[in-house]
């Protein structure tokens, strides 16, 4: 992985490819490259950022078809040799690829026996040379070559090829990894992320698994299934809202996205919960939610943390048995899925590889599936029975902020809806009114951002951090620790307060501070005991508390007060000071806030 862009048409391709790559920078990458077919196949590659690639390009270069790629290393270290595009051994083909070829070593050995040698360490070059091998065997019939290669390839891939024999043509194929085709009057665009080409195209095609597409500047020439049968593709008009994609005067995308959260919360609560489905009517959806016997929530990273909060809410409000699973682990177990189980898959992008695979496993067992996602026309949308959209706008910062709080709001709304449908109105009464005031609580926190900056100044030199929470605050502790380690590279651990004595307390000293999230009144007394245990070992404690909680203020080194909110929705509000604290520490340590090292925004490989 990480990003693909391509174009063929009437326009000069170079600027289109560069602009597309720049719009994909937010996904994270370590190298970049471009290939242009202008009668000959020309390749330019560089390590590092796109500015380095620009310096490799000639002052004037003409061509109207080409492909480009930003790479996030999976096979082989980050360097120019491993950067895409790759040329085949014969020189006939050039290719970019997102995904992972699981049997690349086996295929590489087979090709080596046929006389192929390899320049890079990548699985991409293996797949390309496999296609090249079949291409030569088939008398340069590229369709037959791709079909034969797919038959023996295991893994996920989205590829775009240039064929020396086919100037002006792009050849696309996908299996598991995202790829979109865009259209305007000047030609055809392709990308792994619709955002990369949305400034040009307003009509889009979303290829299905196994599709092989031949496109030139005049149109889509041919489309085939993975078995070689001809098919047609449906074109959709779709407008991508780019208004939320700029920095709008903020220094960083992450900063802007933190400060957008009050308005997003207000918007989500004003519009209410809408469950969309092309398979079920609204009445059928209500019947499904009434009859479910349990819920399994799937997610990775931040989405898993929001799922943990969702589990608490579903149990407490709807009185449903609920489980939250790492999608990456769920798919490799042999999970028992009871009849009547609803599976909720959470993914900001809708393209998280492990979540997609886990969702597929759940569907194969007969589960009803619902996705909570931010990006429309994603793979997860197409592969779930029902969808709930975050409508949070494009999230560009790699570390999730506004998508996380939007997920929490949607999960609270969903839990309330299920509780109402199931007649558990006593448990959920008043929740909507509490939620309607949450944007004001968020705004109150942002007005005190300067105090969080002062706290960050005090603790920026710490190399370790413990985050503690109990009950609903435990997921907040996990998310706070994740944010800090993601963007400041500080070792941070999130733990349930009660588990501190089972290991982490051995680490506590003056140089190992603790962030104690103590907004849960139900568990406050026990949290105070945890704080005192830390202080007895000379550990420093910062507490996040509800306004006016004197019993905690008097015993901690530092504290930050959130406006008074009910315990059930406190995790939504608590997210903001945790995000700001991490953001300011990252700035103080000179880290790249928006594009942290080694991280990708959308993890489209396992």
Residues taking part in catalysis: 2, 601
Cβ partners under 8 Å of residue 490, min gap 6: 462, 463, 464, 465, 484, 585, 589
**Which pair of tokens denotes residue 546?**
């509800």
- How many Cα atoms sit within 13 Å of 490 on the Cβ side? 33
φ, ψ at 241 (rounded to 5°): -80, 105
- SS3 label, residue 389: strand
Q: How far is CA 400 from CA 101, 189, 200, 208, 303, in A?
A: 28, 28, 27, 28, 9
Q: How do beta strands 558-562 and 2-9 pair? A: unpaired
Element (H, E) at 137: helix 123-137
State the CB neighbour count (10 A cutoff) for residue 368: 21
Q: Given 3-state DSSP classes, what are the helix, strand and coil percentages for the chain, each rounded to the nearest 5?
A: 40, 25, 35
3-class DSSP string for 66-125: EEEEEECCCCCCCCCCCCCCEECCCCCEEEEEEEEECCHHHHHHHHHHCCCCCCCCCHHH
Strand partners, 368: 342
**Which pair of tokens denotes residue 161?**
């090829």
> In Å, how far from its chain's centre is CA 32?
20
Counting Cβ atoms within 10 Å, is residue 278 exposed (0-12), middle (13-18) or buried (19+)?
exposed
Question: What's the sign of the alpha-carbon dihedral 598, 26, 1, 404?
Answer: positive
What is the rounded CA–CA span in Å between residue 383 and residue 369?
8
What is the rounded CA–CA span in Å between residue 68 and residue 319?
51
Give me the count of residues in the chain. 606
Which residue matches tokens 């207000």?
A: 266
CA nearest neighbour of 359 among 383, 326, 340, 382:
383
Strand runs labelled E in 131-288: 155-163, 169-175, 180-184, 187-191, 203-205, 212-216, 219-224, 235-237
CB-CB contact of 596 with 27 (8 Å)? no
Region of 341 please: left (phi>0), alpha (psi -120 to 50) or beta: beta
Region of 590 please: left (phi>0), alpha (psi -120 to 50) or beta: left
């Amino acid at each position: 992985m990480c990003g693909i862009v391509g174009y063929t048409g009437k326009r000069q391709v170079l600027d289109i490819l560069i602009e597309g790559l720049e719009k994909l920078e937010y996904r994270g990458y370590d190298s970049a490259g471009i290939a242009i077919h202008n009668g000959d196949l020309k390749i330019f590659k560089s390590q590092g950022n796109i500015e380095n690639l620009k310096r490799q390009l000639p002052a004037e270069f003409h061509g109207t078809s080409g492909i480009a790629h930003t790479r996030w290393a999976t096979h082989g270290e980050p360097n120019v040799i491993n950067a895409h595009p790759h040329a085949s051994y014969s020189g006939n083909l050039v290719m970019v690829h997102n995904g992972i070829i699981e049997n690349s070593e086996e295929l590489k050995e087979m090709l080596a026996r046929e006389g192929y040698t390899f320049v890079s360490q990548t699985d991409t070059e293996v797949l390309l040379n496999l296609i090249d091998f079949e291409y030569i065997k088939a008398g340069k019939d590229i369709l037959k070559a791709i079909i034969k290669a797919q038959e023996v390839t295991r893994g996920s891939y989205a590829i775009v090829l240039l064929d020396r024999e086919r100037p002006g043509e792009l050849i696309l194929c996908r299996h598991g990894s995202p790829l979109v085709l865009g259209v305007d009057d000047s030609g055809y665009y392709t990308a792994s992320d619709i955002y990369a080409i949305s400034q040009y195209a307003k009509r889009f095609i979303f290829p299905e698994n196994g599709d092989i597409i031949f496109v030139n500047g005049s149109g889509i020439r041919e489309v085939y299934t993975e078995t070689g049968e001809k098919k047609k593709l449906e074109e959709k008009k779709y407008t991508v809202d780019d208004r939320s994609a700029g920095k709008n005067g903020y220094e960083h995308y992450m900063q802007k996205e933190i400060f957008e959260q009050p308005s997003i919360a207000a918007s989500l609560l004003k519009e209410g919960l809408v469950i969309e489905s092309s398979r079920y009517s609204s009445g059928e959806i209500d019947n499904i939610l009434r009859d479910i016997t349990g819920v399994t929530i799937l997610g990775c990273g931040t989405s898993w943390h929001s799922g943990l909060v969702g589990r608490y809410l579903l149990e407490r409000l709807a009185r449903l048995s609920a489980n939250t699973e790492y999608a990456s682990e769920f798919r490799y177990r042999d999970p028992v899925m009871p009849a009547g189980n609803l599976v909720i898959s959470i993914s900001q992008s809708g393209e998280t590889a492990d979540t997609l695979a886990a969702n597929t496993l759940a569907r194969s067992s007969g589960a009803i599936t619902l996705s909570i996602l931010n990006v429309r026309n994603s793979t997860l949308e197409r592969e779930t029975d029902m969808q709930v959209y975050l409508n949070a706008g494009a999230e560009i910062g790699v570390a999730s902020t506004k998508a996380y709080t939007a997920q929490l709001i949607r999960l609270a709304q969903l839990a309330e809806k299920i509780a109402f449908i199931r007649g558990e109105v006593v448990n959920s009464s008043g929740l909507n009114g509490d939620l309607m005031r949450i944007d004001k609580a968020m705004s109150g926190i942002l007005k005190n951002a300067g105090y969080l900056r002062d706290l960050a100044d005090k603790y920026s030199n710490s190399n370790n951090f413990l985050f503690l929470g109990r009950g609903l605050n435990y997921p907040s502790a996990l998310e706070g620790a994740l944010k800090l380690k993601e963007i400041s590279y500080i070792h941070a651990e999130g733990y349930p307060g009660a588990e501190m004595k089972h290991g982490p307390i051995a680490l506590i000293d003056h140089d190992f501070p603790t962030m104690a999230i103590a907004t849960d009144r139900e568990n406050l007394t026990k949290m105070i005991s945890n704080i005192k245990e830390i202080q007895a070992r000379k550990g420093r404690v910062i507490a996040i508390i509800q306004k006016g909680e004197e019993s905690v203020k008097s015993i901690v080194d530092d504290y930050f007060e959130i406006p008074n909110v009910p315990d059930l929705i406190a995790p939504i509000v608590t997210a903001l000071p945790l995000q700001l604290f991490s953001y300011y520490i990252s700035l103080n340590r000179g880290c790249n806030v928006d594009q942290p090292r080694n991280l990708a925004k959308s993890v489209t490989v396992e």
